[in-house]
């Protein structure tokens, strides 16, 4: 395998090529597009062999994405740190529910949601890249709960990196808030914004444009537009295939489409599958785009599967780029039209290619609730609302073509309030949640005004 030249292109075609470290530290390409690998590397035959460790799979899959952009040994060290933070030896165990139906448990990490898998790697790799270049980095991120928690845990104590997380005051669960605010690390600032998640995202956009904040080094974000986060999600699809030993259909609970796109990537790398189903909640822009051929914006509505309350899934741009035969001009046209008009219709050839990459289904709140009750009654499984969306979609799917794997993206106890409405009891807390205890919290409450955010961040980075 050649590892010297892993390069990244922008989906909009007007930014210079970047190596892995640049794509990792920059996040978004300079032309507003998303980074994509210039070519898909091919999975080695041994990657999906039975009985391989998560680290071994990571060492098979990820070097081709990194090339020589990081110091030798960086990836192995990052994988060691990742694995050490998980409380299951398989890291992402595959659990059988019944004939042909499986759950891939992605919640055994430090914050009990799948975002740990990529965030732990990204934090270690970014730290290594910065040590090599001598730079410093300030990361800004808006969160509705899980991303912020995973980021705080992953970046705490990394001395070249400062992390600022903005969450909407009183609109994340108590567990999610405490996962962010009880970490006593001087390089982390938690801002609780008097507003909603969109206000937080607006503030982050504004802050990222503040030249003054670049005085202290690079300024970037760690949401799932970052290619490194997607790369960090590829190994568990390979691990699932290795654990199962035969091709499957993957059903992915979907918000920003980062998790599902990592799955789609594995197929381009040669993983044998029966396909990918993106399961969304009633925020169904993605399902409408794939099923009706029109991608259009609607206001997001609140659901029990809060981490999927997304109406403009950022990684959809990567799918359009790939499905258009990597036509950057066409991709730019689609997303410029969407930005301008709030809607864009796909031409038949592009729609057919999108459908060949992934199918999509929307599961409403009633079906999600019923699925939580069903999973408990039928298999004794207590599942989180996001997992329930995937399970409902998985059970709708015809299993005649082969087994189905639903991704279980969070531990039910992270969303205990919602789950207990159906089951009549609170889920047993995950060990990492129990361990939070009643440690003191650190957070700064601010108004949703750009000035308030800027002065809080300046005081922190000064
Ligand atoms: C973030 C998240 C999702 C959605 O993942 P995307 O990559 O944004 O599609 C699903 N479930 C849980 C628990 C999450 O935290």
Backbone dihedral angles phi then psi of residue 112, each to the nearest 5 degrees: 60, 30
The answer to whether 114 and 409 have CB atoms below 8 angstroms apart is: yes
DSSP string covering 11-68, please?
A: TTS-S--EEHHHHHHH-S-TTS--EEESSPPPPPGGGG-TT--HHHHHHHHSHHHHTT
pLDDT bucket at 424, cuts 50 / 70 / 90: very high
DSSP string covering 249-313, please?
A: EEEEE-SSSHHHHHHHHHHHTT---SEEEEEE-S--HHHHHHHHSEEE-------SSGGG--SS-
The predicted structure's pLDDT at residue 1: 45
254 lines ligand 1 (CB under 6 A): yes
Spatial neighbors of 438 by CB under 8 A, at least 6 apart, are none
Q: Which atom of ligand 1 is nearest to the CA of 113?
A: 13
What is the arithmetic mean of pLDDT over 131-138?
96
Domain membership flag for residue 119: no
Residue 322's domain comprises 94-112+230-423
The predicted structure's pLDDT at residue 299: 87
Domain membership flag for residue 308: yes
Backbone dihedral angles phi then psi of residue 101, each to the nearest 5 degrees: -130, 125
The predicted structure's pLDDT at residue 47: 87
Domain count, the chain: 1
259 lines ligand 1 (CB under 6 A): yes
The answer to whether 76 and 15 have CB atoms below 8 angstroms apart is: no
Backbone dihedral angles phi then psi of residue 446, each to the nearest 5 degrees: -130, 160
pLDDT bucket at 54, cuts 50 / 70 / 90: very high
The predicted structure's pLDDT at residue 276: 98
Task: Find where tokens 């381009």 sit.
Answer: 268
Percent of the chain exceeding pLDDT 70 equals 99
**What average pLDDT is seen over the chain?**
95
SS3 call for 78: helix
The predicted structure's pLDDT at residue 2: 45
CA of 409 to the centre of ligand 1 (A): 7
The predicted structure's pLDDT at residue 155: 98
CA of 235 to the centre of ligand 1 (A): 17
CA of 131 to the centre of ligand 1 (A): 30
Percent of the chain exceeding pLDDT 90 equals 87
What is the arithmetic mean of pLDDT over 105-112?
97
263 lines ligand 1 (CB under 6 A): no
145 lines ligand 1 (CB under 6 A): no
The C-alpha atoms of residue 321 and residue 303 are separated, in whole angstroms, by: 30
CA of 255 to the centre of ligand 1 (A): 5
Express each pLDDT in 257-293 by its tens digit. Answer: 999 999 999 999 999 999 999 999 999 999 999 999 9
What is the arithmetic mean of pLDDT over 12-28?
95
CA of 410 to the centre of ligand 1 (A): 9
Domain membership flag for residue 268: yes
The C-alpha atoms of residue 193 and residue 166 are separated, in whole angstroms, by: 7
258 lines ligand 1 (CB under 6 A): yes
* Pairing mode, strands 101-105 and 404-408: parallel
SS3 call for 384: coil
Nearest one of 47, 46, 43, 27 to 35, comparing CA atoms: 27
Which H or E run contains 138? strand 137-142
Q: Which atom of ligand 1 is nearest to the CA of 107?
A: 13
Q: Which atom of ligand 1 is nearest to the CA of 254?
A: 9
Which of 185-199, 261-275, 301-315: highest mean pLDDT? 261-275
The predicted structure's pLDDT at residue 216: 86
Q: pLDDT at residue 4 above 70?
A: no
Domain membership flag for residue 417: yes
Domain membership flag for residue 310: yes
115 lines ligand 1 (CB under 6 A): yes
Domain membership flag for residue 240: yes
The predicted structure's pLDDT at residue 187: 97
CA of 62 to the centre of ligand 1 (A): 22
CA of 134 to the centre of ligand 1 (A): 33
Domain membership flag for residue 1: no
DSSP 360: E
Which of 46-55, 197-206, 398-407: highest mean pLDDT? 398-407
The C-alpha atoms of residue 204 and residue 151 are separated, in whole angstroms, by: 15
The answer to whether 376 and 423 have CB atoms below 8 angstroms apart is: yes
Q: Which atom of ligand 1 is nearest to the CA of 261?
A: 7
Domain membership flag for residue 309: yes
122 burial class (0-12, 13-18, 19+ CB within 10 angstroms)? buried
171 lines ligand 1 (CB under 6 A): no
DSSP 113: B
CA-nearest residue for atom 2, ligand 1, is: 307
Q: pLDDT at residue 218 above 70?
A: yes
The answer to whether 354 and 286 have CB atoms below 8 angstroms apart is: no
Express each pLDDT in 70-80 by its tens digit. Answer: 999 999 999 99
State how far the alpha carbon of 286 is from the alpha carbons of 131, 256, 292, 295, 316, in Å: 39, 9, 10, 7, 8
- Residue 99 belongs to domain with CATH number: 3.40.50.1100
Express each pLDDT in 139-179 by its tens digit. Answer: 999 998 899 999 999 999 999 999 999 999 998 888 999 99
């Amino acid at each position: 395998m050649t590892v010297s030249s892993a390069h990244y292109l922008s989906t909009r075609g007007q930014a210079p090529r970047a190596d892995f470290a640049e794509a990792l530290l920059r996040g978004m390409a300079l032309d507003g597009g998303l980074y994509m690998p210039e070519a898909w590397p091919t999975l080695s035959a041994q990657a999906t062999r039975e009985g391989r460790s998560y680290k071994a799979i990571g060492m098979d899959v990820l070097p081709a994405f990194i090339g020589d952009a990081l110091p030798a040994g960086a990836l192995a060290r990052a994988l060691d740190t990742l694995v050490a933070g998980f409380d299951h030896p398989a890291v992402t165990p595959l659990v059988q529910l019944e004939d042909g139906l499986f759950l891939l448990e992605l919640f055994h990490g430090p914050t009990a949601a799948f975002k740990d898998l990529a965030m732990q790697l990204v934090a270690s790799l970014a730290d290594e890249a910065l040590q090599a270049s001598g730079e410093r980095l300030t990361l800004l991120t808006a969160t509705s709960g899980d991303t912020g928690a995973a980021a705080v845990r992953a970046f705490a104590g990394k001395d070249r990196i400062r992390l600022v997380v903005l969450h909407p005051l009183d609109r994340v669960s108590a567990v999610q808030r405490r996962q962010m605010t009880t970490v006593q690390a001087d390089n982390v600032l938690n801002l609780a914004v008097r507003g909603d998640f969109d206000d937080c995202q607006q503030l982050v956009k504004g802050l990222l444009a503040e030249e003054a904040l670049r005085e202290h080094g690079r300024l970037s974000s760690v949401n799932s537009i970052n290619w490194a986060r997607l790369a960090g999600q590829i190994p568990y699809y390979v691990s699932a295939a290795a654990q199962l030993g035969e091709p499957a259909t993957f059903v992915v609970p979907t918000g920003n489409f980062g998790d599902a796109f990592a799955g789609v990537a594995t197929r381009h790398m040669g993983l044998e599958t029966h396909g990918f189903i993106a399961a969304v909640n009633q925020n169904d822009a993605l399902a409408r785009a794939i099923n009706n051929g029109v991608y259009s914006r609607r206001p997001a509505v609140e659901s029990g599967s809060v981490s999927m309350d997304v109406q403009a899934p950022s990684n959809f741009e990567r799918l359009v780029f790939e499905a258009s035969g990597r036509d950057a001009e066409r991709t730019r046209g689609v997303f410029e039209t969407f930005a301008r008009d709030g809607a864009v219709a796909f031409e038949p050839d592009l729609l057919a290619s999108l459908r060949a990459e992934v199918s999509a289904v929307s599961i409403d709140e009633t079906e999600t609730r019923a699925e939580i009750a069903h999973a408990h009654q039928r298999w004794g499984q207590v599942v989180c609302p996001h997992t329930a969306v995937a399970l409902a979609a998985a059970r709708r799917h015809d299993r005649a073509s082969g087994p189905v794997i639903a991704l279980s993206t969070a531990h039910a106890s992270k969303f205990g309030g919602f789950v207990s409405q159906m089951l009549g009891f609170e889920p047993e807390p995950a060990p990492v949640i129990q361990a939070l205890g009643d440690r003191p919290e650190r957070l700064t409450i601010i108004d949703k005004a750009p000035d308030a955010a800027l002065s809080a961040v300046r005081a922190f980075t000064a």
